[in-house]
């Protein structure tokens, strides 16, 4: 079988690559990428305009292979959304409800969170991460959100709790009248050891005002992450694209992440999230990005972000097929098994709500890459055959 990796190797002959980049107007940029020089804003914008998507992908793949070889990471994780009741109204969101009385609203007690996570752990004992994120509930205190984390810890003591976006952390600081440092220390004491990348959306203030006017500005989003990094808590950064923003806004967003990483050095992964408009206020304005646009945006991100080690194609939002092909466009991580996802499924996503490990492994193998199970900090997990069988319930 010829996989993406073979094509990369074939293109590894200097003449074949030189011809490809020359023909597509990428020769100078390719030279800079090869000599590890930082690309400029104008170059990022030029790559967006390049007519040859596959040349862009091949160049991003060079960087990916340099950083990670043929490895493609995945993890065994689940998402836990304690509530979708939220004081904010973001136009791209199909998940939030104004109050607990609205149809589709839910708010779980910490006990219910415990039950739900414990039932997933019973089915998937090898789970290594619980990603917790929800709405800004008008009546719940910071203590409620800490109790949710404690409940997750009790139900899944061996898993990492990756919890709460910068938006939520800023909200906690305001409702509890605490500094960011005090909020983060309390979260860490409750059991949080990593922070997800949500709430970034698009940093440009004009677009931000259009699609999520109530959200914290970019500066505050980075302040929250920098404080977490200072305390030794790593995090991720996302970008929601394919709504009302332009390619220039995307480049600007990625460059802000690059600058943020220069300052605080704690971002592990960048995750461009293709917008799904179906059940949202923006559905009449856009159909969301096409597969080609998703691949190009991932590739440009890999080329511009020279200081963030990992690039994730979150299969739930990209679609598994596009995420698979993205493994040849700069991506080295597909996220995980998930079990149950709500944010994008309530917005109308038609991807499955979870995958088995076999499905992810097969997806990676058929792209010609090498699947590696990772923990939340990108350490490779090697499971002993006996542990595997125990996890599968075959031995005690």
Instruction: Return the range that interacts with ligand V47 (CB under 6 A); candidates 117-125, 194-202, 213-221, 352-360.
Output: 194-202
Cα→Cα distances 124→80, 153, 255, 356, 388, Å: 15, 15, 38, 10, 11
Strands annotated E in 133-209: 160-163, 192-194
Closer to ligand V47 by CB, 95 or 329: give it. 95
Token pair for residue 10?
Answer: 């074939």
Does the footprint of ligand V47 cover residue 196 (CB under 6 A)? yes
The residue with its CB nearest to ligand V47 is 198
Question: Is residue 172 a contact partner of residue 139, using CB atoms and an 8 Å limit?
Answer: no
Largest CA distance in the chain: 65
Does the footprint of ligand V47 cover residue 305 (CB under 6 A)? no
Does the footprint of ligand V47 cover residue 271 (CB under 6 A)? yes
Cα→Cα distances 106→58, 95, 249, Å: 45, 10, 34
Does the footprint of ligand V47 cover residue 273 (CB under 6 A)? yes
Nearest distance in Å: CB 129, ligand V47: 9
Question: How many residues form the binding site for ligand V47 (CB under 6 A)?
Answer: 22
Closer to ligand V47 by CB, 9 or 89: give it. 89
Closer to ligand V47 by CB, 221 or 329: give it. 221
Closer to ligand V47 by CB, 44 or 196: give it. 196
Nearest distance in Å: CB 215, ligand V47: 9
Give residues 83-112 in contact with ligand V47 (rule: CB under 6 A): 92-94
Closer to ligand V47 by CB, 24 or 301: give it. 301
Q: How many CB atoms lie within 10 A of CB 54?
A: 16
Does the footprint of ligand V47 cover residue 317 (CB under 6 A)? yes
d(CA 196, CA 253): 17
Cα→Cα distances 209→166, 276, 285, 381, Å: 17, 19, 16, 42
Question: Is residue 97 a contact partner of residue 86, using CB atoms and an 8 Å limit?
Answer: yes
**Cβ neighbours for 84, distance < 8 A, ≥ 6 positions apart:** 95, 96, 97, 104, 105, 106, 134, 135, 342, 346
Does the footprint of ligand V47 cover residue 159 (CB under 6 A)? no
Does the footprint of ligand V47 cover residue 201 (CB under 6 A)? yes
Closer to ligand V47 by CB, 25 or 247: give it. 247
Query: Which of 8, 124, 128, 238 lies at the binding interface for ligand V47 (CB under 6 A)?
Result: 238
Closer to ligand V47 by CB, 110 or 288: give it. 288
d(CA 192, CA 194): 6
Interface with ligand V47 by CB under 6 A: which residues?
A: 92-94, 196-199, 201, 236, 238, 240, 271, 273, 275-276, 280, 314, 317, 335, 343-344, 347
């Amino acid at each position: 079988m010829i996989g993406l990796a073979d094509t990369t190797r074939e293109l590894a002959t200097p003449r074949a690559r030189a011809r490809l980049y020359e023909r597509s107007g990428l020769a100078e940029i390719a030279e800079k990428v090869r000599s590890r020089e930082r690309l400029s804003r104008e170059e990022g914008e030029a790559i967006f305009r390049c007519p040859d998507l596959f040349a862009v992908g091949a160049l991003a793949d060079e960087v990916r292979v340099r950083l990670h070889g043929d490895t493609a990471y995945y993890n065994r994780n689940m998402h836990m959304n304690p509530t979708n009741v939220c004081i904010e109204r973001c136009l791209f969101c199909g998940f939030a409800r104004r109050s607990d009385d609205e149809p589709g609203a839910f708010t779980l007690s910490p006990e219910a969170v415990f039950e739900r996570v414990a039932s997933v752990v019973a089915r998937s004992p090898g789970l290594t991460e619980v990603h917790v994120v929800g709405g800004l509930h008008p009546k719940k205190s910071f203590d409620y959100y800490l109790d949710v984390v404690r409940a997750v810890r009790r139900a899944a003591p061996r898993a990492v709790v990756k919890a709460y976006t910068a938006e939520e952390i800023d909200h906690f600081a305001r409702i509890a009248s605490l500094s960011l440092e005090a909020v983060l220390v309390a979260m860490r004491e409750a059991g949080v050891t990593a922070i997800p990348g949500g709430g970034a959306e698009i940093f440009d203030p004009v677009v931000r005002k259009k699609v999520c006017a109530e959200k914290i500005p970019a500066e505050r989003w980075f302040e929250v992450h920098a404080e977490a990094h200072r305390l030794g808590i790593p995090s991720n950064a996302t970008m929601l694209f394919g709504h009302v923003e332009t390619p220039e806004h995307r480049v600007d967003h990625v460059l802000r992440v690059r600058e943020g990483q220069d300052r605080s050095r704690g971002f592990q992964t960048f995750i461009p999230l293709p917008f799904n408009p179906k059940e949202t206020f923006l559905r009449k304005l856009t159909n969301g990005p096409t597969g080609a646009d998703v691949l190009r945006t991932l590739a440009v991100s890999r080329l511009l972000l020279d200081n963030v080690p990992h690039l994730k194609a979150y299969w739930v939002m990209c679609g598994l097929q596009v995420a698979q092909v993205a493994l040849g466009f700069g991506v080295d991580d597909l996220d995980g098994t998930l079990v149950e996802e709500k944010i994008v499924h309530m917005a109308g996503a038609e991807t499955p709500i979870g995958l088995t490990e076999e499905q992810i492994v097969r997806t990676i193998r058929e792209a010609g890459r090498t699947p590696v199970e990772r923990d939340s900090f990108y350490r490779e997990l090697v499971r002993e055959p006996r542990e595997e069988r125990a996890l599968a319930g075959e031995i005690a």
